[in-house]
């Protein structure tokens, strides 16, 4: 994921974009400017998304996962503002960007950005109940996406595409589903319809922001399975946001752990699950029910500090069982822990 660096040294942001990298987020900062202060919801977040892989982003509620995703698409609404960083997207084959092969989404004109929104990177949201427009049919809402991003198609071909993506997401009786309104479908079907809208844009990257949180358990598994299958079949990359480490273990290739707006640990699934370095990651893993769990699950004491009034030093200090004097004085940087694994901790687990 990251070029290897000297162990125990602060990580440098990847200087070059590797060939198989579709998306590189560099030093992204998104702050909310409210009356109660400046909330640093996303504070210096960097990661890459390789082609055809799944990157899982985990973290407690309020850790900045959704804001990170919305920032990539530049959909953060006031009082939120992207105050720094770059979102580099590789654009092989697009003549306009041919010399460098990459473009920084944050520098684009709004009209240009719109072609990337949906077309390059599509997003599906947590709440299938409220994320579909109640007054348009599913078919209309998919067709709108198709029309925007596949301009060469005529009306009949567009409708064929609508049915095609509905088949792709395994909605039974696509013809009927296309003519249905959102309220006529079950939660699971609605989330499939949401995915169908995203696929209608023909994206290379799909961001799924807690796509299954609102669904019941069996439907959750089906939708996750569908996402995995679609990713493989269509060769997409997937950014899977969740607070469920179990989902990450099954689905993701690489994992980003966020805490209070910052990345605290990052690595491959193997690394994160077998050698968590950050105390927060370890605590999350211990809170995960396993096959052998008996009695009560462990929970992480305390709660996420307010993003407007973070303590001096490490954000996790109040809840950390390894906290020392240095943690209260200095803010740790992401340190290289091994090939491709980084953690934001002075005293990582070894």
Partner 1 sequence: MGVYLFKRLLLIIPTFLGITLITFLIIQMAPGSPVSLKIQQMGGEGIRTETVSKAVIEQTKKLYGLDQPIHVQYLQWIKRLATFNFGDSYKDHRPVLTKIREALPVTLLLNFISIFLIYLISIPLGIFSALKSRTLLDQAVTVILFILYSLPSFWVAMILIIYLGGGEYLNLFPVAGISSQGVGELTRWGQFGNVLWHLVLPIIVLTYGGFAFLARLSRAQLLEVIRQDYIRTARAKGLSESAVILKHALRNSLIPLITLSGTLLPAMIGGSVVVEQIFSIPGMGKLGFEAVLSRDYPTVMAIAAIEALLTLVGILVSDLMYVWVDPRISFEGM
Ligand X SMILES: Nc1ncnc2c1ncn2[C@@H]1O[C@H](COP(=O)(O)OP(=O)(O)OP(=O)(O)O)[C@@H](O)[C@H]1O
Binding of residue 31 to ligand X (CB under 6 A): no
Q: Which of 57, 60, 42 is nearest to 300 (CA)?
A: 60
Please give the helix or strand (H or E) that residue 328 lies within, else none: helix 325-329
Listed ranges 25-33, 37-45, 120-128, 331-339: which one lies at the site for partner 1 (CB under 8 A): 120-128
Please say whether the beta carbons of 280 and 316 come within 8 A: yes
Q: Vertex 268, ends 263 and 300: CA angle to 5°? A: 50
- According to DSSP, residue 320 is labeled -
Report phi then psi at 224, rounded to 5.
Answer: -65, -40
Residue nearest to Mg ion (CB): 66
Q: What does the alpha-carbon distance between residue 48 and residue 223 come to, in Å, rounded to a whole number?
A: 25
From the list Mg ion, partner 1, ligand X, none, pick the one residue 183 interacts with, judged by a Cβ distance below 5 to 8 Å according to partner type. Answer: partner 1
Binding of residue 41 to ligand X (CB under 6 A): yes
CA distances from 273 to 232, 262, 265, 294 (A): 23, 20, 12, 20
Q: Which of 2, 31, 39, 125 binds partner 1 (CB under 8 A)?
A: 125
Q: Which of 62, 85, 128, 332 binds ligand X (CB under 6 A)?
A: 62
Residues 64-93 within binding reach of ligand X (CB under 6 A) = 64-67, 79-80
Structure tokens at 340: 């491709």
- For 286, other C-beta atoms within 10 Å of its C-beta total 13
Q: Which of 82, 88, 105, 132 binds partner 1 (CB under 8 A)?
A: 132
Listed ranges 8-16, 126-134, 236-244, 308-316: which one lies at the site for partner 1 (CB under 8 A): 126-134
Q: Which of 205, 247, 262, 334 is nearest to 64 (CA)?
A: 262
Q: What is the nearest approach in angstroms of Mg ion to the Cβ of residue 41? A: 10
Q: Vertex 23, ends 21 and 28: CA angle to 5°? A: 135
Q: Which of 42, 197, 226, 327 binds partner 1 (CB under 8 A)?
A: 197
Structure tokens at 134: 């109640």
Report phi then psi at 132, rounded to 5.
Answer: -110, 140
Q: What is the nearest approach in angstroms of ligand X to the Cβ of residue 305? A: 10
- For 100, other C-beta atoms within 10 Å of its C-beta total 11
Please say whether the beta carbons of 28 and 22 come within 8 A: no
Residues 136-155 within binding reach of partner 1 (CB under 8 A) = 136, 144-145, 148-149
Q: Which of 169, 201, 241, 283 binds partner 1 (CB under 8 A)?
A: 201
Binding of residue 47 to ligand X (CB under 6 A): no
295's CB contacts (< 8 A; 6+ apart) are none
Q: Which of 59, 118, 276, 332 binds ligand X (CB under 6 A)?
A: 59
Letters for 39-78 (x = contact with Mg ion by CB under 5 A, - = none) are: ---------------------------x------------
Q: Which of 86, 114, 275, 319 binds partner 1 (CB under 8 A)?
A: 114
Does 79 sit behind a cis peptide bond, omega within 30 degrees of 0 on the bond before it?
A: yes
Please give the helix or strand (H or E) that residue 254 lies within, else none: strand 254-259
Residues 243-272 within binding reach of ligand X (CB under 6 A) = 243
Q: Which of 75, 98, 287, 297 binds partner 1 (CB under 8 A)?
A: 75
Please say whether the beta carbons of 228 and 236 come within 8 A: no
From the list partner 1, Mg ion, ligand X, none, pick the one residue 119 interacts with, judged by a Cβ distance below 5 to 8 Å according to partner type. Answer: partner 1
Residues 166-195 within binding reach of partner 1 (CB under 8 A) = 181, 183, 194
Please give the residue ranges that form the binding site for ligand X (CB under 6 A). Answer: 32, 34, 39, 41, 59, 61-67, 79-80, 243, 307
The residues of the shown chain that bind partner 1, judged by CB under 8 A, are 73, 75, 110-111, 114-119, 122-123, 125, 127, 130-136, 144-145, 148-149, 181, 183, 194, 197, 201
């Amino acid at each position: 994921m990251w070029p290897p660096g000297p162990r125990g040294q602060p990580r440098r942001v990847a200087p070059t974009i590797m060939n198989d990298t579709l998306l590189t987020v560099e030093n992204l900062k998104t702050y909310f400017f409210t009356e109660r202060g400046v909330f640093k919801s996303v504070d210096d977040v960097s990661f890459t998304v390789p082609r055809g892989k799944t990157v899982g982003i985990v973290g407690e509620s309020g850790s900045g996962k959704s804001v990170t995703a919305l920032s990539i698409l530049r959909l953060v609404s006031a009082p939120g503002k992207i105050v720094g960083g770059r979102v580099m997207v590789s654009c092989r084959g697009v003549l306009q960007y041919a010399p460098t092969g990459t473009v920084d989404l944050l520098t684009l004109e709004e009209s240009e950005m719109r072609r990337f929104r949906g077309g390059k990177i599509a997003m599906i949201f947590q709440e299938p109940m409220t994320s579909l427009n109640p007054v348009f049919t599913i078919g209309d809402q998919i067709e709108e996406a198709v029309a925007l991003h596949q301009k060469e198609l005529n009306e009949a071909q567009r409708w064929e595409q609508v049915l095609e993506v509905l088949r792709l997401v395994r909605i039974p009786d696509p013809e009927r589903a296309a003519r249905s309104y959102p309220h006529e479908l079950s939660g699971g079907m609605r989330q499939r319809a949401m995915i169908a809208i995203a696929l209608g844009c023909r994206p290379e990257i799909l961001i799924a922001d807690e796509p299954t949180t609102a669904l019941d358990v069996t439907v959750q598994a089906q939708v996750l399975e569908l996402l995995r299958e679609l990713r493989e079949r269509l060769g997409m990359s997937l950014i899977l946001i969740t607070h469920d480490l179990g989902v990450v273990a099954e689905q993701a290739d690489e994992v980003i752990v966020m805490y209070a707006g910052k990345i605290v640990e990052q690595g491959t699934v193997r690394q994160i699950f077998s050698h968590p370095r950050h105390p927060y990651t370890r605590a999350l893993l211990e809170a995960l029910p396993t096959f052998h769990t008996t009695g009560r699950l462990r929970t992480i004491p305390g709660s996420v500090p307010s993003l407007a009034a973070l303590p001096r030093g490490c954000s996790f200090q109040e809840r950390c069982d390894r906290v020392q004097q240095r943690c209260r004085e200095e803010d740790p940087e992401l340190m290289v822990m091994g090939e491709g694994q980084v953690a934001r901790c002075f005293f990582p687990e070894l």
